[in-house]
Amino acid sequence: MKYSFILYVIIFGVFLNISAFAQQTSSATAHATIVQPINLLHVRDLSFGNISPGETSGIVVLSPTAAGTRTANGGVILPSGSGTVQSAKFIVSGVDGYSYSIILPLAAITLSDGTHFMTIDNFTSTPSGSGVLTSGSQIIYVGATLNVNANQEAGVYTEDFEITVNYN
């Protein structure tokens, strides 16, 4: 009986000891850092300048550069009195060194003088698709293609378009 009691104490102690080490608890600290929001500032509008339509349709392609150069194809003439020719300009700002994506319109935008219509499409940007904020900011230039109808009516054609930037 004395041995069985000692055996019982040993077995009970072993199981008690095993169950004491079967579960452990530890803790961790949760962290969250809120960064400066990305910001997009419109600086100047997209302007194709003066265009002379022909008897056939044509296009004017405006480059997404600081100079905003343009070229014409088809039945479009670019007169020497060019008017205001410029790519759209935006300044994106945020956290220095962060990369971001640029989302341009995918569908054509319809310009109107109130009665007549033209479209712009094939939006492009510099930088193209994405960029990196150097010293916390970067300039984005936006160009596009203007589709001029044959014998397009004279007028000032306008419409707004949007671009979007997001941190990557």
Q: Which residues are CB-neighbours of 13 under 8 A, at least 6 positions away?
A: none
Whole-angstrom distance, CA of residue 7 vs CA of residue 3: 6
Token pair for 91: 């300044």
Cβ atoms of residues 79 and 52 within 8 Å: yes
pLDDT value for 8: 63
Q: Give me the pLDDT at residue 105, please.
A: 98
Q: What is the pLDDT of residue 153?
A: 97
Third-level CATH fold of 36-167: Immunoglobulin-like (2.60.40)
Tally Cβ neighbours within 10 Å of residue 125: 21
| Tokens standing for residue 20 | 């004491």
Could you state, in order of their start, the residue ranges of all structural domains in the chain? 36-167
Q: How far apart are CA 48 and CA 62, in angstroms?
A: 7
Check if the beta carbon of residue 51 is closer than 8 Å to that of residue 80.
no
**pLDDT score of 9:** 58
Q: CA-CA distances (angstroms) from residue 38 to 31, 60, 126, 128, 165?
A: 21, 32, 18, 18, 8
Instruction: Tell me if the bond preceding 105 is cis, omega within 30° of 0.
Output: no
The pLDDT assigned to 86 comes to 97
Query: What is the pTM assigned to this prediction?
Result: 0.83
Q: Print pLDDT tens along the chain (168 aa).
A: 566 666 565 666 655 555 556 889 999 999 999 999 999 999 999 999 999 999 999 999 999 999 999 999 999 999 999 999 999 999 999 999 999 999 999 999 999 999 999 999 999 999 999 999 999 999 999 999 999 999 999 999 999 999 999 999
Counted residue by residue, the chain has a size of 168
Q: What is the pLDDT of residue 141?
A: 98
Quote the pLDDT of residue 22.
Answer: 81
- 18 backbone φψ class: left, alpha, beta (φ>0; ψ -120 to 50): alpha
